[in-house]
Structure 1
Amino acid sequence: MVKPHFTILLVFIILSCSSDDGFVSPIDNGGNNGGNNGGGNTMDIGNGDVTRGATPCESGMAAIYPCDGYDLLFHMDLSSLSAGSGNDIWGWTDTENNREYALVGLNNGTAFVDITDTSNPIYIGKMPTATDNSTWRDVKVYNNHAFVVSEAPGHGMQIFDLTRLRNVQSPPQVLTADARYTGIGNAHNIVINEEMGFAYPVGTARNDAFNGGVHFISVQSPTSPSGVGGYGANGYTHDAQVVTYQGPDTDYTGQEIFIGANENQIAIVDITNKSNPTEISTLSYSNLGYTHQGWFTEDHRYFILGDELDEPDFGFNSRTLIFDFSDLDNPTLHTTYLGPTGAIDHNGYVLGDEFFLANYSAGLRVLDISDIENENISEKAFFDTHPSNNIAGFDGVWSVYPFFESGKIIISDTGGGLFVIQKSN
């Protein structure tokens, strides 16, 4: 989520300038004990009560929620998680027992919810923020560990061993981090290339060594992260994807490619050599508001991008831009999709021939991209967690995780909390 107004921008600058870059000891192992740093059991973490249970989508509604093609499995609101707002979300499946967990970003920490049995979800506990509360928090997973960053000043990167969730007694509990990397301070987002074992915090302090671009951190030993450089030649990076490239441009097969959403441009960078990252190309587009976030199709040919401010700035319906990345040195705009509402698009992820779009006040929208080559994209389903309106505002769905093998989809709503849905029978 971008901070589009001057007052919010001022807060952002203050937070950015509070970065803790340059700590002598960038790793704090053994958790953050005490007070606001994640220890003790005095913090009110909520009770995890289910707000609404299983509700089928019938005649276009699941109780109060407009829907098409998806049923509600359960809803757990913010009061149940003792939080003021929600933000990012990610998922983890424990391969030892096939249990599924939602990792829910909140203004005051990260909640862990066992969603395996949706008729009896279990709120395992919350890892409190490392420093202050913040609207912005982001979490990704690698090698059974969660990596959490935040815009909170001095937060660094929390690292939590997810296998501990198997043995939590009398949930919910306050949970402590297993390690904390303080080679960064605040960060807007974090990206992980699981194939290579590197974490990439982005959106750090604009005056740091990499201009708020991307930091390279080896997490191959998850609780002993090691910073090995970064890249900031294209300025501040708001969000990104990093892949081991297997697309049609054979010049880059097997290379580690960084695609940065850099506010006013897309930056494509070869970061295979961490000591010598090299720019491949940059590109812009018309009616640019704020280049926010994008995701490759699974064949690495097309890159699907959301601009967070084009709807309020230019009056578009939800606009999704599809770029042809067949030639990484010369990417081009392939086509544009406009949704049925004026809601702002936020994070989007590809699974197979579907694009799962967190569309703020319009909820989750599912796009059919099976014929993307011929510029045919259409909405095939949706679940609207914010039924009061579809305006171009920042209330509603922040993010979505569609990658569970069970088909469950977890949704984080800024004011509504955690929703778990599944395709209707």
Structure 2
Amino acid sequence: MKKALKLLAVVILFGTTHTFAQDTNSLKIVIEPDPIVVEVGAEQQLKASLVNEGGETLPDTILFYSRNGGDLEVSREGYVKANKPGTYSVLAMRSGPREQRVTKQFNIDVPYPPIAEVQFKNVPENIYSKTTLDLYVDVIDEMDLIRENPDLTITSDNQSVAMVSHGKLMALKEGKARITAESEGKKATLDLNIKKNPATSMVIDNNETNIRTGDVITLNAKAMSGNGREVNVPITYSFVAQPEDNLGQGAEGQISQEGKFVANKPGIFTLTARSGDAIAEQIIRVEDRNVAQDIEMVGHGEVLDVHTSDLWIWEGVDGRDYAITGTWGANGDTYFWDVTDPSNIVSIDTVRVDARTVNDVKISEDGTIGIITREGASDRKNGMVVLDVSNPSDVKILSEYNEGLTGGVHNAFIYEDHVYAVNNGRRYDIINIEDPENPYTVGRFELDTPGHSIHDVWIEDGIAYSSNWRDGVVAVDIGSQDSELADAGGSPENPVMLGSYSYPSGRNHAAFPFKSESTGDFYVIAGDESFPYGLPTRSNPVAAAGWIHFIKFDGWDQPKEVARYQVPEAGTHNFWVVGDLLFVAYYNAGLRIVDISGELMGNLYDQGREIAKFEPTHPDAIVPNAPFTWGPQPYKGHIFISDWNSGLWAIKLVDRPEQGTN
């Protein structure tokens, strides 16, 4: 679980371990202060002690565990730092053998600052009768933070003219009304003068009336006045669906208030555009997308005794094809494979370094240099190792680079003679490897947000896209030559931030930029990683959670999330895009291949865009018969995948006989 195994924050408050002679039932942990209240932005030192039934304090080691990430930080020095309001659960535990442990679960309360101001925002200049619009209200506290999900009441003093329901303003007729928004005694008012709606007719300008599930159409509705001129009034869009079968499954779809429609299921849809008394309808027929193909399993490089981490496939300098795979929680091994014949994957070399986990593996564009990352080294030198892979059957270690990286390098990327190494989950260091035997650091990039963290970085066209958990995707110019994408003057020595996008779950774990082959639109895919049922073990291969977010960038200032791909019973890991195909390692749901052609909107999983899936299993795997797919790489007509439980696989798509070629 390359990106999810974040270490729990641990605080050691006492240094001596007590002998475990006493009955643990007679012992308890006392936390001071009680209760614990920490203001946002403040720090407080925790104190804990182990007390016997006689009230005697014992000199035992007490550890504190927190799964609250950057929202509530716990330092090694014993300080709690509160970055976000809320109530957080923390576990205190006596160190020692499992049978002698004593635990105490307690809460730390981070109260919300008092409300300072309530503001209406984005209010239209003109509001017309018989229209509905969203009311946008910011509730701002005394720390100048916008309150999430505030206790907010919005009322109208003239409900015959204007009503408010669930944050929407319904302008009923001409007239005046005062709208009041109130939160914790702070108020804002909005005086409305609702005008007569000038629309007398509506026109839908769309010619696509036969589409497939997943196809996005734009209605381009226009409201017209009595003299035949277009008028700028709000238009409300809706639809009615009629399924084409009698099986009880209703036709499903989605329509935005920008007039974009997409269907999840086949059927007949009546699309409606309305403003005031003006209304227009259009009937659309939707057929099944019908893109499914079969998967053929071609070859398997078995790794059945340890967990497999990431992979990389490349063409060697000798013209043959090779693969490199890492190992997780094992002996620091990296495996090299000849995959020239994917049906006969052959292990050709192993490199062992001082590490528990070789999490990430990358090969330079010319196929001569490899980078492997290290975690869990016995000497805590957890940096990266530079390899000569010009002969993959006899790989040489050129250098180890640990300067400033002892906290561990989880992921890395090679780009133009530099390695971008994710350093201790806080930043990425930029390391020059023009002389691979003598690497040196030339720059670094780190966010300055409270409790910030980073998991991964991917580089295309001189722009680094990092995955930063709750800070989301961050794009940084490190030397882009494409003026359409960036012209910020960035370089490896001077990385310059271009833009970012975050989303509420805070689970951003991986990112991949791509330009749609069919539309030319530019997206960044952001993948979640979450383990709501705990981390997997050999005896308990639990399911992951999370999904793929499609973020559309039209410039860097206003990114917009437009679509998702969500497999309900699983969660994402790594992914890759080639052309209009998305390849996703979906952990316990295996590999998924998805059609991402055309404009994207809604949940692609529901729209029949899934082309194929493959769940790698093996009865003798380290976790038998349980897929846990880590990473995909499409390469020369095949798809190579690494599976955490069973090693390296090669598969390929084949057309279904009844379909022909897609």
Q: TM-score, normalised by structure 1?
A: 0.70
Report the counterpart of residue 84 of structure 1 in structure 2. 306
Cα distance, 1:119–1:336 mapped onto 2, change above 3 Å: closer
- Choose the corresponding residue for 2:523, options 282, 289, 302: 302
- Choose the corresponding residue for 1:346, options 535, 553, 573: 573
Instruction: Tell me, in whole angstroms, the C-alpha distance in 2 between the residues paired with 1:329 and 1:133.
Output: 41
- Choose the corresponding residue for 1:333, options 545, 561, 568: 561
2:370 is the alignment partner of 1:146: yes
CA positional deviation for 1:6? 4.2
> In the TM superposition, what are the counterparts of 1:112-261 in structure 2 within 5 Å?
112-128=336-352, 130-134=353-357, 137-142=359-364, 143-144=366-367, 145-152=369-376, 153-165=380-392, 168=394, 175-183=395-403, 184-185=405-406, 186-193=408-415, 196-202=416-422, 204-205=423-424, 212-234=426-448, 235-244=452-461, 256-261=462-467
Describe the superposition over 1:20-77 as per-residue Cα deviations: whole angstroms up to 9, x where unpaired. xxxxxxxxxxxxxxxxxxxxxxxxxxxxxxxxxxxxxxxxxxxxxxx96221112232
Task: Please say if residues 366 and 379 of structure 1, whose CA atoms lie closer than 8 Å, have aligned partners that are also in contact.
Answer: yes
Cα distance, 1:10–1:417 mapped onto 2, change above 3 Å: farther
- Choose the corresponding residue for 2:322, options 84, 98, 101: 101
Describe the superposition over 1:168-212 as per-residue Cα deviations: whole angstroms up to 9, x where unpaired. 4xxxxxx5412222222311100222xx3321011x225xxxxx2
CA positional deviation for 1:375? 5.8
CA positional deviation for 1:240? 1.7
Report the counterpart of residue 366 of structure 1 in structure 2. 593
Instruction: Tell me, in whole angstroms, the C-alpha distance in 2 between the residues paired with 1:126 and 1:298.
Output: 37
Report the counterpart of residue 279 of structure 1 in structure 2. 497
Cα distance, 1:422–1:131 mapped onto 2, change above 3 Å: same
Cα distance, 1:320–1:223 mapped onto 2, change above 3 Å: same
Cα distance, 1:303–1:275 mapped onto 2, change above 3 Å: same
CA positional deviation for 1:302? 0.2
Task: Please say if residues 343 and 650 of structure 2, whose CA atoms lie closer than 8 Å, have aligned partners that are also in contact.
Answer: no
Instruction: Tell me, in whole angstroms, the C-alpha distance in 2 between the residues paired with 1:119 and 1:257.
Output: 36
Instruction: Tell me, in whole angstroms, the C-alpha distance in 2 between the residues paired with 1:317 and 1:87.
Output: 19
Q: Which has the higher contact order (CA 8 A, sep 6+)?
A: 1
Instruction: Tell me, in whole angstroms, the C-alpha distance in 1 between the residues paired with 2:65 and 2:578.
Output: 37
**Which amino acid is 2:559 matched to?**
P
Q: TM-score, normalised by structure 2?
A: 0.46
Describe the superposition over 1:133-182 as per-residue Cα deviations: whole angstroms up to 9, x where unpaired. 12x5101111321111122341321122222225x4xxxxxx54122222
Task: Please say if residues 311 and 342 of structure 1, whose CA atoms lie closer than 8 Å, have aligned partners that are also in contact.
Answer: no
**Which amino acid is 1:412 matched to?**
S
Task: Please say if residues 113 and 124 of structure 1, whose CA atoms lie closer than 8 Å, have aligned partners that are also in contact.
Answer: yes
Instruction: Tell me, in whole angstroms, the C-alpha distance in 2 between the residues paired with 1:163 and 1:117.
Output: 19
Task: Please say if residues 289 and 310 of structure 1, whose CA atoms lie closer than 8 Å, have aligned partners that are also in contact.
Answer: no
The alignment partner of 2:310 has SS state of strand
2:298 is the alignment partner of 1:73: yes
Instruction: Tell me, in whole angstroms, the C-alpha distance in 2 between the residues paired with 1:257 and 1:224.
Output: 25
Task: Please say if residues 311 and 343 of structure 1, whose CA atoms lie closer than 8 Å, have aligned partners that are also in contact.
Answer: no
Task: Please say if residues 529 and 545 of structure 2, whose CA atoms lie closer than 8 Å, have aligned partners that are also in contact.
Answer: no
The alignment partner of 1:124 has SS state of strand
Report the counterpart of residue 547 of structure 2 in structure 1. 319
Task: Please say if residues 301 and 345 of structure 2, whose CA atoms lie closer than 8 Å, have aligned partners that are also in contact.
Answer: no
Instruction: Tell me, in whole angstroms, the C-alpha distance in 2 between the residues paired with 1:11 and 1:132.
Output: 25
Task: Please say if residues 295 and 349 of structure 1, whose CA atoms lie closer than 8 Å, have aligned partners that are also in contact.
Answer: yes
Instruction: Tell me, in whole angstroms, the C-alpha distance in 2 between the residues paired with 1:222 and 1:101.
Output: 21
Task: Please say if residues 465 and 476 of structure 2, whose CA atoms lie closer than 8 Å, have aligned partners that are also in contact.
Answer: yes
**Which amino acid is 2:641 matched to?**
I
- Choose the corresponding residue for 1:267, options 466, 474, 482: 474
Cα distance, 1:239–1:301 mapped onto 2, change above 3 Å: same
Q: How many corresponding residue pairs?
A: 332
CA positional deviation for 1:317? 7.0
> In the TM superposition, what are the counterparts of 1:377-392 in structure 2 within 5 Å?
377=604, 378-386=609-617
**Which amino acid is 1:367 matched to?**
V
Instruction: Tell me, in whole angstroms, the C-alpha distance in 1 between the residues paired with 2:469 and 2:561.
Output: 17
CA positional deviation for 1:126? 0.8
- Choose the corresponding residue for 1:357, options 584, 588, 596: 584
**Which amino acid is 2:296 matched to?**
D
Percent of paired sites with the same residue: 26
Instruction: Tell me, in whole angstroms, the C-alpha distance in 1 between the residues paired with 2:618 and 2:532.
Output: 19
> In the TM superposition, what are the counterparts of 1:11-90 in structure 2 within 5 Å?
69-79=294-304, 83-90=305-312
The structure with the largest alpha-carbon Rg is 2
Cα distance, 1:276–1:5 mapped onto 2, change above 3 Å: closer
Task: Please say if residues 343 and 361 of structure 1, whose CA atoms lie closer than 8 Å, have aligned partners that are also in contact.
Answer: yes
**Which amino acid is 2:633 matched to?**
Y
Instruction: Tell me, in whole angstroms, the C-alpha distance in 1 between the residues paired with 2:500 and 2:533.
Output: 25
2:5 is the alignment partner of 1:3: yes
**Structure 1 unmatched runs, 5+:** 18-66, 169-174, 207-211, 245-255, 389-393
Task: Please say if residues 296 and 302 of structure 1, whose CA atoms lie closer than 8 Å, have aligned partners that are also in contact.
Answer: yes
CA positional deviation for 1:275? 3.6
Task: Please say if residues 545 and 572 of structure 2, whose CA atoms lie closer than 8 Å, have aligned partners that are also in contact.
Answer: no
Task: Please say if residues 310 and 325 of structure 2, whose CA atoms lie closer than 8 Å, have aligned partners that are also in contact.
Answer: yes
Instruction: Tell me, in whole angstroms, the C-alpha distance in 1 between the residues paired with 2:649 and 2:345.
Output: 12
CA positional deviation for 1:110? 1.0
Instruction: Tell me, in whole angstroms, the C-alpha distance in 2 between the residues paired with 1:372 and 1:87.
Output: 33
Task: Please say if residues 362 and 386 of structure 1, whose CA atoms lie closer than 8 Å, have aligned partners that are also in contact.
Answer: no
Describe the superposition over 1:308-335 as per-residue Cα deviations: whole angstroms up to 9, x where unpaired. 128769x997521100112112212122
Cα distance, 1:95–1:352 mapped onto 2, change above 3 Å: farther
Cα distance, 1:5–1:289 mapped onto 2, change above 3 Å: farther
**Structure 2 unmatched runs, 5+:** 11-63, 70-74, 77-291, 479-489, 535-542, 620-625, 656-662
Task: Please say if residues 321 and 335 of structure 1, whose CA atoms lie closer than 8 Å, have aligned partners that are also in contact.
Answer: yes
The alignment partner of 1:178 has SS state of strand
Task: Please say if residues 369 and 376 of structure 1, whose CA atoms lie closer than 8 Å, have aligned partners that are also in contact.
Answer: no
